[in-house]
Amino acid sequence: MTSTSTAARPAYATSPIHQLAADEAISPDSRIWSISTTGGLTLTGYLPPWADEDPSDTNVPLEKLSLTLIDLTHWQPFEGQTMHVHHPAHADGDGKAGEGEDTLFNGNITCHPYSEHPRGRTPFANIHIVNDFWMNNLTPGDLTHLAAQLRAQADRLDNEIRPALVTARADWETHHPSVSHQP
């Protein structure tokens, strides 16, 4: 018996006496989440291989089942780049901003299969820029565009900004010879 759902993959409701039919067989490679209610209803659904946690639960009060489904989340974090940053969170004793390391461009792939918002029902990416700044709900096309922008910025840093900095430092050294040169 399939419950009514607007998600792409239905949840299956079973009573304690329900047995899977032959066409409902679960392959050994499939992962399934299961939510059992205090009223004896059990819902199951597809658990993607990339999902980091199993949202299965037991003894969910029947009146909280809809909220439990809306909150059901599949996600997988991914690492970013550790970089030196100048940030107030790394302040020293005198309250001045200090240097430290922070991770940038880390994030997660997320899917809320029973979200009230249709876009959340398909896996999307969230990317942590820095501190509390995130780029959320990115589609594969959005990631392609972001990657192109980051490549363009990296090319600009390499081909325009670095040579301009080398020139500026050489000019500075010429006009301020007492300043030691740092690579």
Q: Copy the structure tokens of residue 164.
A: 């301009």
Model pTM score: 0.70
pLDDT at residue 19 tops 60 = no
Output the pLDDT for position 27: 55
DSSP element (H, E) containing 92? none
Q: Copy the structure tokens of residue 6.
A: 């607007």
Contact between 102 and 87 (Cβ < 8 Å): yes
Residue 72 burial (CB < 10 Å; 0-12/13-18/19+)?
A: buried
Output the pLDDT for position 174: 87
28-87 pLDDT, tens per residue?
Answer: 567 999 999 999 999 999 999 999 999 999 999 999 999 999 999 999 999 999 888 776
Q: Which residues pair with 84 in a beta bridge?
A: 101
105-164 pLDDT, tens per residue?
Answer: 999 999 999 999 998 999 999 999 977 889 999 999 999 999 999 999 999 999 999 999
